[in-house]
């Protein structure tokens, strides 16, 4: 998953947010419990796509899995 996460970050740095979002979604298809990907996806959705409710849903799902995950709490 690290390679996909790095690829997503690369796309984000290049301004290709849709691709970054798709990769985070792909990570979650492979690893449905990946709270790091949930956090990354939530951040991309809220910061770049203004999909605040969708981002909040991902953050809440991640917190159900790991209620102490600091980045999701934030």
Residue 4's pLDDT is: 95
Mean pLDDT across the stretch 6-33?
97
Is the pLDDT at 7 greater than 80? The verdict is yes
CA gap 51, 18 in Å, rounded:
12
Give the range of the structural domain holding residue 17, as residue numbers without chain letter: 2-73
Q: What is the CATH number of the domain that holds 31?
A: 1.25.40.10
Count of the separate structural domains present in the chain: 1
CA gap 21, 26 in Å, rounded:
9
> Can you tell me whether residue 49 is helix, strand or coil?
coil
Give the C-alpha distances (Å, rounded to integers) separating 3 from 27, 30, 35, 56, 63: 10, 13, 16, 26, 24
pLDDT in tens, 34-66: 999 999 999 999 999 999 999 999 999 999 999
| Res. 74 pLDDT band, cuts 50 70 90 | confident
């Amino acid at each position: 998953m690290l390679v996909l996460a790095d690829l997503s970050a690369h796309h984000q740095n290049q301004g290709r947010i849709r691709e970054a979002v798709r990769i985070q979604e792909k990570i979650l298809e492979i690893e449905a419990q990946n709270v790091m990907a949930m956090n990354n996806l939530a951040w991309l959705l809220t910061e770049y796509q203004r999909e605040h409710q969708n981002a909040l849903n991902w953050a809440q799902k991640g917190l159900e899995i790991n209620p102490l995950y600091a980045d999701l709490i934030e």
